[in-house]
Amino acid sequence: MEPLVDTVIEDPRWEGLGLATLADRAAGAALAALSLPEQGFALCLMGCDDARIAELNAAFRAKGTPTNVLSWPSEDRAADAPGAMPLLPDPGPADDPEELGDIAISFDTSAREAAEQGKPLEDHVTHLVVHGILHLLGFDHIDDLDAELMETTETRILASLGVADPY
C-alpha cells in the first residue's frame, strides 16, 4: 500500500520541522473534512528552499521569484461555476491509489512569512500544505466566490487540527 503523502526532502531544515509527519496529518484532515477516505489517494510533497521553488515558479508560472507553495494537480477538478464544490475524485484501489498531484513548499519563504505574521512555523506550514492539497482537489482562489469556499474549507480543516484561523 502506498503512503498518502510521499514526502521528498531537498532542504534538510525540513527534517527538523518534521515535514513528513506534519504533511500526513494535514492531508488526512483535509481528506476527512471532504468526506474522502485516506486510503486510495496519493500525492507527493517536496520540501525545498527559495532557490529551488524560484526555479519551479519560473519554469511553470513564468515568475522567477520564490513563493511559499506551488501545486500541480494531476487533473483539472475545478467546479464549472464560481463558488461551487470541485469535482472530488474517487479513491483508487490500495495497490493503485488515485494520484492527486504534486506540491512544493519553500522553507525560507514559509519561515519568513511565519515570523512576519507572528505564527508558529508548524501552523503556517500546516496551512500551506492544506492549501496545496485543496488546489490538488480542484479548489482555487482566483474568483471571489471560489476564494470564499477555499478559505472556509481551509479554516475548517485547520480548526480540526487545532490551528488558528489564518485569515
pTM, two decimal places = 0.96
Q: 127-142 in b/e burial notation, b at 16+ Cβ within 10 A?
A: bbbbbbbbbbbbbbee
Instruction: Note the pLDDT of residue 57.
Output: 98
β-strand partners of 48 = 106
Cell of 27: 492531508
Question: Alpha carbon of 58 to those of 19, 55, 63, 70: distances in Å?
Answer: 24, 5, 4, 11
Tens of each residue's pLDDT in the chain, 167 residues: 568 999 999 999 999 999 999 999 999 999 999 999 989 999 999 999 999 999 999 999 999 999 999 999 999 999 999 999 999 999 999 899 999 999 999 999 999 999 999 999 999 999 999 999 999 999 999 899 999 999 999 999 999 999 999 98
Alpha carbon of residue 100 to chain centroid: 11
What residues have CB less than 8 Å from 21, skipping those under 6 apart? Answer: none
81 phi, psi to nearest 5 deg: -120, 145
